[in-house]
């Protein structure tokens, strides 16, 4: 049987009583899965179809906090930090999208608790974590292009560097060359982790423990990269940060900013797990860049193969 979800139009509720039915049906199915030790691949079609209803803006606006709570309770232990979805929900480091969850996604981590591991298999089968993993090759591609264009003294700024997995994988391919990456990261635990992971490339990477809003530099960069950060910013903060970073671009330098697309089918599931992002379309991202003073010929929007993570590319 295919795991493609049944089109939403079959289900999408239009009245609050239909939403009530959907919540009940979803709650019962999740509780059933939790009782039997997590979803098997044969359950994914039904679970995806039910959860994807909650990605619909119209449905979301009709679901109450009490109904969301009811759905969360149905997960039981599957919403403890022993699972990735539970890590997202509980936020043990105190904020959403911490370096550990990203590292769990990159590494296809599976809960050591036997009865919960199937929930992680389900999580990893979703498009959103696939899109996160696709960042690795996109980052490598950007680094490669930048290094080819500026073979000596390549300067890169990595904003919100997290676990550093993208740098580690890219530098393994590119080799320790004449390339320098400055990383701005607010979480000292993330920096400690990334320093250990990227130990063999310590001459290439410089970590700066700072909130990006308090980071000022005279250095200019060939490439400024940021993934997994701007989706948490409202439009004003997004633009303020772009304008600020743009001052640190070299002539012809490139800024690449990741943001989840509204086409993310896992939005409902993620929000159920308290992982709230601001999803932006290609048009929306381009418009924000225009409002920062960039012209159309300087703006492009790229995407990874899933089409879920978009990348606003601004050329100076
Ligand atoms: C979702 S992770 C992304 C990590 C990495 N860019 C990646 O794609 O693998 C987000 C990271 O942003 C960091 N972060 C969040 N807000 C920040 C801020 N205002 N300044 C600097 N770092 C920030 C967090 O500590 C976390 O490590």
Residue 272 within any structural domain of the chain:
no
Residues 202 and 307 in one domain: yes
* Domain end marker among 128, 147, 169: 128
Residues 124 and 33 in one domain: yes
pTM: 0.92
Q: Is the pLDDT of residue 6 over 70?
A: no
Question: 316 to each of 241, 247, 255, 285, how far by Cα in Å?
Answer: 15, 9, 8, 16
Stretch 212-219: mean pLDDT: 96
Burial 184-210 (b: 16+ CB within 10 A, else e): bbbbeebbebbeebbeebeebbebbee
Residues 167 and 287 in one domain: yes
Q: Which residues are within 8 A (CB) of 172 and not within 5 positions of it... i.e. 6 or more apart?
A: none
Alpha-carbon span 55 to 233, nearest angstrom: 20
- CA–centroid distance, 45 to ligand 1, in Å, is 32
Ligand 1, pocket residues at CB < 6 Å = 97-99, 102, 135, 160-162, 165-166, 184-187, 190, 211-213, 227-229
Question: 122 to each of 42, 66, 206, how far by Cα in Å?
Answer: 11, 25, 36
Alpha-carbon span 77 to 85, nearest angstrom: 11
- CA–centroid distance, 47 to ligand 1, in Å, is 30
Pairing of strands 249-260, 205-209: unpaired
Q: Which residues are within 8 A (CB) of 50 and not within 5 positions of it... i.e. 6 or more apart?
A: 22, 25, 26, 29
- Quick: pLDDT tens for 40-93: 999 999 999 999 888 777 677 788 888 889 999 999 999 999 999 999 999 999
> Which atom belonging to ligand 1 lies closest to the Cα atom of 226?
6
Alpha-carbon span 55 to 144, nearest angstrom: 36
Q: Which residue has the least CA distance to atom 3 on ligand 1?
A: 228
- CA–centroid distance, 194 to ligand 1, in Å, is 12
Residues 166 and 302 in one domain: yes
CATH number for the domain that contains residue 218: 3.40.50.150
* Domain end marker among 84, 99, 128: 128
- CA–centroid distance, 228 to ligand 1, in Å, is 6
Q: Which residue has the least CA distance to atom 13 on ligand 1?
A: 160
Alpha-carbon span 137 to 286, nearest angstrom: 23
Residues 83 and 94 in one domain: yes
Domain that holds residue 72: 8-128
Stretch 9-37: mean pLDDT: 82
Average pLDDT across the chain, whole number:
92
Residues 110 and 190 in one domain: no
- CA–centroid distance, 100 to ligand 1, in Å, is 11
Count how many domains the chain has: 2
Residues 46 and 68 in one domain: yes
- Quick: pLDDT tens for 107-156: 999 999 999 999 999 999 999 999 999 999 999 999 999 999 998 899 99
- CA–centroid distance, 163 to ligand 1, in Å, is 9
- Quick: pLDDT tens for 102-117: 999 999 999 999 999 9
Residues 111 and 145 in one domain: no
Residues 19 and 143 in one domain: no
Q: Which residue has the least CA distance to atom 27 on ligand 1?
A: 162
> Which atom belonging to ligand 1 lies closest to the Cα atom of 106?
9
Q: Which residue has the least CA distance to atom 18 on ligand 1?
A: 211
């Amino acid at each position: 049987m295919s795991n493609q979800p049944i089109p939403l139009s079959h289900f999408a509720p239009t009245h609050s009583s239909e939403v009530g039915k959907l919540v009940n049906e979803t709650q019962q199915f999740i509780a059933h899965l939790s009782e039997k030790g997590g979803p098997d691949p044969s359950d994914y079609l039904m679970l995806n179809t039910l959860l994807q209803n909650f990605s619909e803006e119209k449905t979301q606006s009709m679901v109450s906090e009490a109904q969301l709570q009811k759905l969360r309770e149905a997960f039981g232990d599957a919403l403890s930090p022993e699972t990735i979805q539970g890590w997202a929900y509980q936020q043990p480091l105190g904020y959403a999208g911490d370096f550990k969850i990203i590292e769990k996604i990159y590494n296809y981590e599976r809960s050591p608790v036997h009865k919960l591991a199937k929930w992680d298999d389900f999580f990893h089968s979703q498009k959103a974590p696939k899109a996160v993993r696709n960042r690795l090759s996109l980052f490598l591609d950007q680094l490669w292009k930048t290094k080819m264009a500026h073979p000596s003294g390549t300067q890169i700024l990595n904003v919100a560097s997290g676990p550093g997995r993208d740098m580690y994988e890219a530098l393994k391919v590119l080799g320790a060359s004449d390339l320098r990456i400055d990383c701005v990261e607010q979480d000292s635990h993330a920096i400690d982790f990334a320093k250990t992971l990227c130990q063999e490339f310590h001459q290439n990477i410089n970590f700066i423990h700072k909130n990006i809003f308090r980071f000022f530099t005279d250095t200019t960069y060939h490439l400024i990269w940021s993934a997994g950060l701007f989706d948490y910013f409202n439009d004003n903060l997004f633009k303020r940060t772009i304008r600020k970073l743009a001052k640190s671009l070299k002539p012809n330098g490139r800024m690449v900013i990741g943001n989840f697309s509204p086409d993310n089918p896992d939005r409902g599931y993620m929000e159920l797990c308290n992982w709230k992002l601001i999803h932006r379309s290609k048009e929306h991202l381009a418009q924000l860049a225009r409002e920062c003073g960039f012209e159309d010929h300087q703006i492009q929007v790229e995407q990874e193969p899933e089409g879920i993570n978009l990348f606003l590319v601004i050329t100076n």
